Amino acid sequence: MKNMLKTTILMAVLTGLFLVVGDLIGGRGGVAVALVMAAVMNLGAYWFSDRLALAMAGARPVSEAEAPELHAVVADLARRAGIPKPRVYVTPDETPNAFATGRNPAHAAVAVTRGLLRLLDRRELEGVLAHELGHVRNRDILISSIAAVLAGAISYLATMAQWSLMFGGLSRDDDDGGVLGFVGLLVTIVVAPLAAMLVQMAISRSREYQADATGARIAGTPEGLASALAKLEEWNRRLPMRVNPAAAQMYIVNPLSGRSFEGLFQTHPPIRERIRRLLELRGA
């Protein structure tokens, strides 16, 4: 409940920032344009995020004959979670990692790397897949897609404003801003994209904690996921994956290097903190 409330507040902040940027750039007309852009881009994210994510990862569907144990684990966990069984994919990466995608539980997919299947034992595999099904049940993929689209749109608007100022083509529908309005616009161009990125990352971290807790409940124990996270962090540090940085947040652990900025600039919570919170759930 705490993480859901935090996510709701952060999404409201991101949406509000988007509208403020639109207003500062174009007044009431700018707000209208921002709303239309948000609607169109969110609709695109809703319908096409799964296809894009799977294509970017080079994932291919695997049948039950090809991966019977993987399908059996996914089917069992989906039954426990009370959701339809997602489509199952495998990517060719040797670095162990996994992600889930899809606009809702009825149109979901889970993908694991070839390296993950080789590294983890059954209990750890169940923990990882339960975490991913937690994302599906909590509709985190849709939330993250919308957050990414809004953050990208804010950066796009700021870039448009920057170029318009350079060529003298930017005007608002009211003239009472004066020098303060111009200064405010300059600050917005610089600050808004950074603020949007920070809010997006905060949403991502919040949803990871929530998926950890949900996954532990689905699996029946937090220990498999905790053990798997320790292994995944070590291997992703040794053998970083080659992925688009924009797609890094969808994986269960940071796939880029295992080393990232601390605190506000992380797409994932610290692994030690995730493991600590998981192990605290054993008594519950």
- Report the catalytic residues: 132
The two structure tokens encoding residue 151: 């953050």
Element (H, E) at 91: strand 87-91
CA-to-CA separations, 228 to 72, 96, 168, in angstroms, rounded: 19, 10, 55
Let me know: does 98 contact 253? Beta carbons within 8 Å.
Answer: no
Q: What is the residue-wise DSSP string for 193-212?
A: HHHHHHHHHHHHHHHHHHHH
What secondary structure, in 3-state letters, does 5-44 show?
A: HHHHHHHHHHHHHHHHHHHHHHHHHHHHHHHHHHHHHHHH
Q: 131 among the known binding-site residues?
A: yes
Residue with tokens 């426990």: 80
Q: 135 among the known binding-site residues?
A: yes
If one counts every other C-beta atom within 10 angstroms of the C-beta of residue 94, the result is 14
CA-to-CA separations, 122 to 38, 129, 220, 247, in angstroms, rounded: 42, 10, 14, 27
Element (H, E) at 224: helix 223-238
Q: 268 among the known binding-site residues?
A: no
Binding residues for Zn(2+): 131, 135, 208
Binding residues: 131, 135, 208
